[in-house]
Amino acid sequence: MTNIRSTDQAQLFVWSDIDPDHETDFNQWYNREHMEERVRISGFTGARRYRAVSSAARRYLALYRANSLADFTTEAYRTAFSKQTQWSVTNFGRMSNTRRRVMHVAQEGGFGWGGALVLIELHPDAMQSEAISNLLSDTVTKDGVLRVHSMFPDEALSSPLPSENTQGRVFAPCIAVDVASEPIAEATLRDLTEKMGSAIREAETFRLMWSLDENDLPPLDT
């Protein structure tokens, strides 16, 4: 379980907030339309939604897994991205403080998805690949840690959403750690903060709201 492996996989993350007045509709949209819509795109293997444990500036995180960065360049993906439903257009417009990044999942260890997540953004070029790999190798051996991975952003594919400030966008590598519980997430973040220090640009812990695997979806009616 402790081996860190290289991958060709990709992951989109959308980290954002929403006005409380629209929060119920926002969650319904994700739960009843948007997650399924994205996971049905060819090449996408699953998606997960999280809510920040703290009262962070961006409380909601959505992660979408794909087989490779090439899956974000297909006609199927372009169609989904350019032909949004009215419900999607409305909720994209309501998001605030949004950060959308398409990432290459460069290194990974462990397996499964935990009930809580640590997400750490690094300052660009703050850590070399070997140092990140050593850190992941150590972290995945800790009690309650299930899966670790590092991601590097693809600037060309990371088109901003309407609610994202495009001035001074930073394309930061990330480390994500899936763990069994929120207390383990907090302890893991403290440990990684000690080890990584000034390399960390931003960090947050999240609780899992729900996950969707491509194999969960029934065939569409024809």
Q: Is the pLDDT of residue 33 over 60?
A: yes
Q: Give residue-wise pLDDT tens across range 72-108.
A: 999 999 998 888 899 999 999 999 999 999 999 999 9
Q: What is the pLDDT of residue 2?
A: 55
pLDDT tens digit string along 161-203? 888 989 989 999 999 999 999 999 999 999 999 999 999 999 9
- Residue 150, token pair as written in the block: 């590092």
Q: Residue 80: what pLDDT?
A: 87
HEC sequence for 193-206: HHHHHHHEEEEEEE
Could you list the residue range(s) of the whole structural domain that residue 194 is in? Answer: 5-215
51/53 Cα distance (integer angstroms): 6
For the chain, the domain total comes to: 1
* Residue at 151 is within a domain: yes
Asked if residue 222 belongs to a domain, the reply is no
Residue 30's φ and ψ, nearest 5 degrees, are -60, -45
What whole-number distance in Å separates Cα of residue 50 and Cα of residue 53? Answer: 9
Residue 221 within a domain: no
192-207: pLDDT as tens digits = 999 999 999 999 999 9
Q: What is the CATH number of the domain that holds 160?
A: 3.30.70.100
For residue 156, pLDDT over 90 is answered with yes
Q: Is 171 within a domain?
A: yes
